[in-house]
Amino acid sequence: MSTAQDLSTATWRKSSYSNGEGGSCLEVADGFPGVMPVRDSKVPDGPALVFPAGSWVAFVGAVSASGASST
């Protein structure tokens, strides 16, 4: 069962790999124990996906280990 997260007070941040030109970026919000909210920076008022924290850590680790490029 999932529960809705109130993200109205979230402080969103982009990756340090993002450029300043407003490109296609994901934003994440810290401070939500046990979960990682993620949204599209181009649609800040749109929906956010909320992942279990462990799943998000595994995803980021897999992307880092793959050597995937941001280009």
The Cα–Cα gap between 66 and 59 comes to 11
Can you say whether the dihedral through the CA atoms of 60, 62, 68, 71 is positive or negative?
negative
The Cα–Cα gap between 15 and 9 comes to 20
> What band does 15 get if pLDDT is binned at 50, 70 and 90?
confident
The Cα–Cα gap between 51 and 36 comes to 5
- Residues 52-70 have pLDDT tens digits of 999 999 999 998 898 776 5
- Residues 28-59 have pLDDT tens digits of 999 999 999 999 988 989 999 999 999 999 99
12-37 mean pLDDT: 84
